[in-house]
Amino acid sequence: MTQSFMTRHLHPHSQRLLSGRGFQIGHFLAHTMAGTSNVKSWIYTTAGYPATLTLSETTVPTTPSPHHLLVQVRASALNPVDIQLMNLSLNSSPGLNKPKIPGRDFAGVVLAAAPETQFQKGDEVMGISMSMDGTGFLTEVAHLDIRGACVVKKPSHLTWVQAASLPLVWLTARTAVEKCVAFMKDPIPANNKLVVLGGSSSTGIYMVKLAHDRGWTVLSTCSPRNIDFVRSLGANQVVDYTTSPDAVPKAVAAFKPHAILDCVGGTDCIGLAPQYVTIVGDKTNRATMGGSALYLTHPRMALRWLLGYLGLSNSYECIILQMKKEWLEEATNLQGERDIFIDSTFPFDRTKEAFERLDTGRTRGKVVVEVDG
């Protein structure tokens, strides 16, 4: 049975990886015979980043469950939500304090696939899981339920790091831009005006690019060091948010946009366009959860949405990304360094440093962990 698992399911690279990273192959085989194998993973149990994050051994089944893939992770991109989840006090509650693996984005090789997944052993894939069952990708081998995930084949022109960097931020940008389409009514694309608050953020980058590709006129905000960069993405007008506290709302009001996309958070620009879409919410703190979950804790946001929905004020939506496979397929057409921006990469054992870099809030593009780097 051990031999048949090794030959049928385990990619040779994974065998090297498992044996070359301090794994005792005898130990691994023993677990294989028992139906599970041990892999190295970053885990957290109770709330409290960074102390909660530790490198540990976890188990994965040797044969995937129905609807599951076993994926040898090659790279995993970090997102603010990873830190926010590690800080979620709910995660310290009895019953929920089991070990969980952070990392939502991944690129890797399918080691074994349940038939329902329509993937095969050896497929090179990229994707995202938003499952709350503890599945994450800061691990050597992930057991991924395809039903809570969005996974596509990785094109050969993208590196592992580039592929892993895309799913969450691309899908967020794509979801947000789609929410603006109905408000861009002028048949001449350039007459449709969009604001992107935070154009140098990982999500803002793709919002600016997607709007530019549609021919819309874009105003975006960033700090001085990112002005040229945000212009290069296609922003027609760039506002330095550091000049004065009211520099952004003043410039946005003068621009008279049809829609505003907010990747920063706060309330300064609410009401300044017929459509306001935020991926953060009223809060500006990066350490706590944002997005549509805030409707539950911020009644003011829920009321704002309701008034917009009833047509009694401008439209307002606080959103979470939609995991549409056809949208993620679009991202596979992006071209390497022209379209994909990597702030920094870190080897697996330096994942804590990768999180520290992300946590600065000063990155330009994605922070990615190379799992077999």
Token digits for 4? 């048949």
* Of positions 69, 222, 235, 334, contacts ligand NAP by CB under 6 A: 222
CB contact burial 120-144 (16+ within 10 A = b; e otherwise): eeebbbbbbbeeeebbbbbbbbbbb
Q: Which of residues 122-181 bind ligand NAP (CB under 6 A)?
A: 168-169, 172
Provide the minimum distance between the beta carbon of 23 and ligand NAP in the complex, in angstroms, as a whole number: 33
Stretch that binds ligand NAP, among 158-166, 215-223, 303-311, 345-353 (CB under 6 A): 215-223
State the Cα–Cα distance between residues 167 and 54, nearest whole angstrom: 25
Provide the minimum distance between the beta carbon of 153 and ligand NAP in the complex, in angstroms, as a whole number: 23
Grouping H, G, I as helix, E, B as strand and the rest as coil, residue 269 is coil
Of 170, 185, 169, nearest to 259 by C-alpha is 185
* Size of the residue set binding ligand NAP (CB under 6 A): 32
* Of positions 263, 269, 323, 369, contacts ligand NAP by CB under 6 A: 263
State the Cα–Cα distance between residues 232 and 229, nearest whole angstrom: 5
Considering the rule CB under 6 A, would residue 327 count as an interface residue with ligand NAP? Answer: no
Nearest CB to ligand NAP, comparing residues 183 and 241? 241
Q: 50 preceded by cis ω (within 30°)?
A: yes
- Find tokens 């599970």 and name the residue: 36
Token digits for 231? 């212009």
Considering the rule CB under 6 A, would residue 231 count as an interface residue with ligand NAP? Answer: no
Detail the DSSP E strand segments found in 255-297.
259-262, 275-278
DSSP structural state of residue 64: P
Nearest CB to ligand NAP, comparing residues 119 and 355? 355
* Of positions 85, 86, 208, 264, contacts ligand NAP by CB under 6 A: 264
β-strand pairing of 68-77 with 141-145: antiparallel
Q: Which of residues 265-324 bind ligand NAP (CB under 6 A)?
A: 279-280, 286, 290-291, 319-321
Provide the minimum distance between the beta carbon of 202 and ligand NAP in the complex, in angstroms, as a whole number: 3
Provide the minimum distance between the beta carbon of 371 and ligand NAP in the complex, in angstroms, as a whole number: 20
Provide the minimum distance between the beta carbon of 226 and ligand NAP in the complex, in angstroms, as a whole number: 4
Provide the minimum distance between the beta carbon of 35 and ligand NAP in the complex, in angstroms, as a whole number: 36
Q: Which of residues 45-104 bind ligand NAP (CB under 6 A)?
A: 79-81
Provide the minimum distance between the beta carbon of 207 and ligand NAP in the complex, in angstroms, as a whole number: 9
Token digits for 350? 């330096």
Provide the minimum distance between the beta carbon of 194 and ligand NAP in the complex, in angstroms, as a whole number: 15
- Find tokens 């944002």 and name the residue: 290
Grouping H, G, I as helix, E, B as strand and the rest as coil, residue 366 is strand
State the Cα–Cα distance between residues 320 and 307, nearest whole angstrom: 20
- For the chain, first and last CA: distance in Å? 30
Provide the minimum distance between the beta carbon of 293 and ligand NAP in the complex, in angstroms, as a whole number: 9
Considering the rule CB under 6 A, would residue 221 count as an interface residue with ligand NAP? Answer: yes
Nearest CB to ligand NAP, comparing residues 186 and 246? 246
* Of positions 23, 241, 255, 305, contacts ligand NAP by CB under 6 A: 241
Q: Contact at 8 Å (CB) between 316 and 322?
A: no
* Of positions 72, 135, 162, 226, contacts ligand NAP by CB under 6 A: 226
Q: Contact at 8 Å (CB) between 142 and 61?
A: no
Q: Provide the CB-side half-sphere exposure for 246 (13 A, CA).
A: 3
Q: Which residues bind ligand NAP (CB under 6 A)?
A: 79-81, 168-169, 172, 198, 200-204, 221-223, 225-226, 241, 263-264, 279-280, 286, 290-291, 319-321, 361-364
